[in-house]
Amino acid sequence: MYFVFQLEFNSTKTYISSLIKAYAKREKIEVDVLQNGEQIAIVAQKDNEKLEQFLLGLEEILPASIYLGQSRHQFMAEKPSLDTISSYSTPHNIALCPTCQKEMFDISSPRYYYPFTSCNSCGGQHPFLEHYPFKRENTTMNFLQPCQNCQKEIKNNPFREDYPLISCLECGISMKMVDKKSERYANDKGSYKKLFEVSAKAISKGKTVLVKTLNGYRKFFKASFGAKASDSNYSILLMTSANSLNTHLMMVTQEFNSLLSIERPILRVSTKSDELKEIYGSSTLVKYPDDGITILLAKELLNLGLEYISYIECDEKEEADFLVDFDIPITPQKDAKLFINQDTKFFINAQRVVFPLVLGKRFDVVSIANNLSAVGVEDVTVIDDMDRFEEIKTKRVNILEEEDYDSGHSSPKLFKNYQGSMLSVLSEYNKVGQKSVGVHFDTSLYFLYYNGKEVISIVPPNPFEADNMFEHISKLREGSDRLVLNYQKHFPDIYERLNNLSGDSDIFTITAIMLGLKDESFEGISAKALEFMGKGGIQIDTHVKDNRFDNYAFLASIMSYKIAGVEASLICYSIFESFGDYIGEIGTQLLSKTKLNSITFTGETFANQALFARIQRHLGMRKLLFPQNLPIGKESAVVGGLFI
């Protein structure tokens, strides 16, 4: 008789299953750990006397994960089998597992306050990778020789067995803190702890500290209204204490669990405390410490009573009072933003966490899109940054048409981002080859039809020229010319700026400028919409003829409401409601005409609560196919490119 413990795990990422295997090896218990794309199963003999203790200890070993769902157990007469996923080794870029975090705060450990602590199942590994395969000699840590203790661990510690990036205080990476007067180096327990203490004290006194983390340069500063206004409108709130999350933020359980997960995504969350409302307004982008450097800094900040600070993502040239740096070259990935609405959860845009991605078969084509490549390696396909692959051999190449890349191939096949994105979602649901309807909404809105062979734009967006915007608006209909003159009279400075925009400005940037928002982007409009506390919006013109979205009619509506003195939060909320009504109307028509019941959604614009709710209202009875593990943004197109 077999005992089977099953964990829902909707991903092909292997860091949780590898952690369980390492733990079982350390505890010297015989179990099988099986994983497919939906679950992890732990199988053991029912009468194994170590089993109960093993399962109790599992709670302390396993981190929270956005992919983990419910668990259950059962007894089976025969050993179960799963179509297990590939074990091809790719480097992670996640937070630290509980074991490594415990080690980093244990003063008796050789990794006490060592910020580059990691193991086979956790940590920032990918930033060090130069090219595949993932071996130490192919990383920027190749010239650091593991000390004697680390060499023993490689053989004897199940969590770091054959680990390519093993290091500790004795043989690892040193750091330095620099200001205009002095340099402070960290290379042992005392000096490392002192470096983070000094950094935290500087921030607490109102100084700015520029830090090279494994996820890129971040400038940290004390959160205050003045700091936010002077430093950046794109600052991210870094919470230093899990206990204070519910004090300062309004979150549902899924948001709380996701923030604390080992993936550590960025989430837009509603503020709760008066102090945060004053600084950030009704919502803000929130992060919980991810890499070892940020975790240690947060610990020292909390010791000083700071439950949160702010940071901006930047480069090494950013001005700051202090610089914390290390000499090893890294290539950081774009951080992961997550969208959550009740039971629906998807990445908005991401490289970290999502990529590298291993597909369980080798395709006979290479796909290249948005600086990512899907390349056949051994018997699998690996998706990662283009420059991580030294040699690519293939008979066919599919390339995103906007990609500035010379493949050297005689006849590459070009595809559009919306085509790749729709096919990526269909591949996640195993629907490639089946007819489907789709909507792609990034800066432009497309309604799509997939006939089983190719993706066709059946309701394309109308052309848009930002540099002739007011001329087009004035010709929309009778009286439109007076609208333009009236807007110019009321808002001469904004009019002048808009009239001098270049043709590559997108409609959301223009809308944000029209409304006078500080954050002139889609993110700014989305955040402003969350400030609206009413029950219903106003109608924004989303189409004028042939059921096609018209950018100029849309902007004319914004101008009219702005002149009338309508609150910006109401206009922003209404924008997404109106888009939701329009998409629901056209989507319903397409599904009826094609006699289909499922519809795919791609494009970052769908990561908005008001728009998402409106689509659910209109199309909720249909099968709505949002991405599962891939971003809804442009990064997903590389997967769909394999099926062009």
Rounded Cα distance, 624 and 617, in Å = 12
Location of structure tokens 């899924």: 254
Q: Model confidence at 503, in pLDDT bands (50, 70, 90)?
A: low
pLDDT per position as a tens digit, 281-310 = 889 999 999 999 999 999 999 999 999 999
Rounded Cα distance, 20 and 35, in Å = 11
Average pLDDT over residues 366-393: 92
Other Cβ atoms less than 10 A from the Cβ of 564: the count is 9
Rounded Cα distance, 260 and 242, in Å = 8
0.85 exceeded by pTM: yes
The 8-class DSSP code of residue 334 comes to: P
From the number of C-beta atoms within 10 Å of its C-beta (0-12, 13-18, 19+), residue 460 rates as middle
Q: CA dihedral defined by 548, 552, 553, 554, rounded to 10 degrees?
A: 90
With a cut of 90, say whether residue 505 has pLDDT above it.
no
Write the CA distances from 252 to 43, 258, 340, 341, integer angstroms: 34, 10, 9, 9
Q: Are 413 and 399 a contacting pair, CB within 8 Å?
A: yes
Which of these, 139, 57, 153, lies nearest to 111 by C-alpha position? 153
**3-class state of residue 218 by DSSP:** strand
From the number of C-beta atoms within 10 Å of its C-beta (0-12, 13-18, 19+), residue 463 rates as exposed
The pLDDT value given to residue 393: 80
Rounded Cα distance, 306 and 94, in Å = 24
With a cut of 60, say whether residue 452 has pLDDT above it.
yes
Q: Model confidence at 226, in pLDDT bands (50, 70, 90)?
A: low
Rounded Cα distance, 40 and 84, in Å = 9
- Joined together, the tokens standing for residue 635 give 């990064």
Q: b/e for 67-104, b at 16 or more Cβ within 10 A?
A: bbeeeeeeeeeeeeebeebbebbbbbbbbbbbbbbebb
The pLDDT value given to residue 228: 42
With a cut of 70, say whether residue 227 has pLDDT above it.
no
- Joined together, the tokens standing for residue 80 give 């179960």
Max distance between CA atoms of the chain, in angstroms, equals: 84
pLDDT per position as a tens digit, 126-172 = 999 999 999 999 999 999 999 999 999 999 999 999 999 999 999 99
Alpha carbon of residue 579 to chain centroid: 24
With a cut of 80, say whether residue 589 has pLDDT above it.
yes
Rounded Cα distance, 578 and 46, in Å = 58
What angle is formed at CA 79 by the lines to CA 76 and CA 81, rounded to 5 degrees? 115
Phi-psi region of 603 (alpha: psi -120 to 50; beta: other; left: phi over 0): left
Strand partners, 380: 377
Rounded Cα distance, 577 and 612, in Å = 9
Q: Are 554 and 465 a contacting pair, CB within 8 Å?
A: no
- Joined together, the tokens standing for residue 125 give 């590994």
From the number of C-beta atoms within 10 Å of its C-beta (0-12, 13-18, 19+), residue 174 rates as middle
2-9 β-sheet, strand order: 32-35, 39-45, 2-9, 68-76
With a cut of 90, say whether residue 231 has pLDDT above it.
no
Q: Which domains does the chain have, with CATH numbers?
A: 2-76 (3.30.70.260), 98-160 (no CATH), 175-332 (3.90.870.10), 430-627 (3.30.420.40)
The pLDDT value given to residue 230: 39
Rounded Cα distance, 39 and 23, in Å = 18
The pLDDT value given to residue 580: 94
Q: If you average pLDDT over every residue of the chain, what do you get?
A: 93
Rounded Cα distance, 304 and 232, in Å = 24
- Joined together, the tokens standing for residue 222 give 């004390």
Range list of β-strands (E), 147-305: 175-178, 183-186, 209-213, 216-221, 236-239, 249-250, 267-271, 283-287
The 8-class DSSP code of residue 361 comes to: S
Rounded Cα distance, 398 and 373, in Å = 10
Average pLDDT over residues 567-577: 95
Phi, psi of 597 (to 5 degrees): -125, 0
More confident residue, 430 or 477: 430
pLDDT per position as a tens digit, 101-132 = 999 999 999 999 999 999 999 999 999 999 99
What angle is formed at CA 335 by the lines to CA 385 and CA 512, rounded to 5 degrees? 115
Rounded Cα distance, 540 and 564, in Å = 14
What angle is formed at CA 477 by the lines to CA 474 and CA 481, rounded to 5 degrees? 30
More confident residue, 622 or 86: 622
Other Cβ atoms less than 10 A from the Cβ of 327: the count is 10
Percent of the chain with pLDDT over 70: 97
Residue 285: half-sphere exposure toward Cβ, Cα within 13 Å: 22
Which of these, 403, 399, 402, 424, lies nearest to 414 by C-alpha position? 399
Write the CA distances from 611 to 240, 399, 576, 622, integer angstroms: 32, 31, 5, 16
Average pLDDT over residues 71-97: 89
- Joined together, the tokens standing for residue 368 give 């290249």
The pLDDT value given to residue 407: 64
Strand partners, 239: 308
Other Cβ atoms less than 10 A from the Cβ of 207: the count is 16
Other Cβ atoms less than 10 A from the Cβ of 462: the count is 17
With a cut of 50, say whether residue 229 has pLDDT above it.
no
With a cut of 90, say whether residue 402 has pLDDT above it.
no
Which of these, 13, 631, 640, 634, lies nearest to 350 by C-alpha position? 631
